[in-house]
Structure formats: C-alpha cells, structure tokens
Amino acid sequence: MRIRKSVFFDIAGLWIAIIEGEPLSSDPYNHVAFKIADAHYDEFSARISSLGLRFGKDRPRGAGEGRSIYFYDYDNHLFELHSGTLEERLQHHAR
C-alpha cells in the first residue's frame, strides 16, 4: 500500500483533506471556495504558508467585497478562503 502525502485542515469545524494524486497540467481557475471570518484571514494565510503550499493570484476587488486567499494543493487544485458574504458581493455588483 502506497501512503500518499496528505494535509488535513479544520476550518471553523469544517474538515478538509488534501491528498496527493496526479497533478493537473496547468493553473486552473476552477476552484472550491469556503467562507471564513475576516478576523481569521491572517491566521489561515500563515497556516497555508507554513505548509509550503503555493498561493494563487487574487483578482481585483472593490471595497466591501471581502478578501480572498487562493492557494493550490500539491496536485494543483485551486482553493479559495473568502471573508466576504454573498450579500456583500451582490451589493457591490449592484452599484
């Protein structure tokens, strides 16, 4: 049995497992996003950095739209941790 490189996150009670597999060939924008409290933004960013994961590029944002941390797992899957709410985003785009 081959043991794969794995990282486990507990993000506000939500358990996420990132397990090594065959890497994707490019940097996709297809991603899974999770809501986080803005107060935890720096903590989660530091934790991701400590794992040696590669950060993705953020897109330009307007004021009040929240902040995002984009990062790739070991197989090049993209994840987002976002501090804004759906209501904030809708209000921003309605302006």
For residue range 19-59, list pLDDT tens digits in order: 777 777 777 777 888 889 999 999 999 999 999 999 998 87
Exactly one of 22, 80, 87, 88 is catalytic; name it.
80
- Active site (annotated) includes residue 80: yes
Exposed e or buried b per residue across 44-61, where buried means at least 16 C-beta atoms within 10 angstroms of its C-beta: beeebeeeebeebeeeee
Q: What's the CATH fold of domain 6-94? A: 2,3-Dihydroxybiphenyl 1,2-Dioxygenase; domain 1 (3.10.180)
Q: If pLDDT is split at 50, 70 and 90, which confidence band does 2 have?
A: low
Instruction: Give yes or no for a contact between 36 and 83, defined as CB atoms under 8 angstroms apart.
Output: yes
Going edge to edge, which strands form the sheet with 68-72?
31-35, 78-82, 68-72, 54-55
More confidently predicted of 57 and 4: 57
Helices (H) and strands (E) in the chain, counts: 2, 6
The candidate with the shortest Cα–Cα distance to 80, out of 53, 94, 92, is: 53
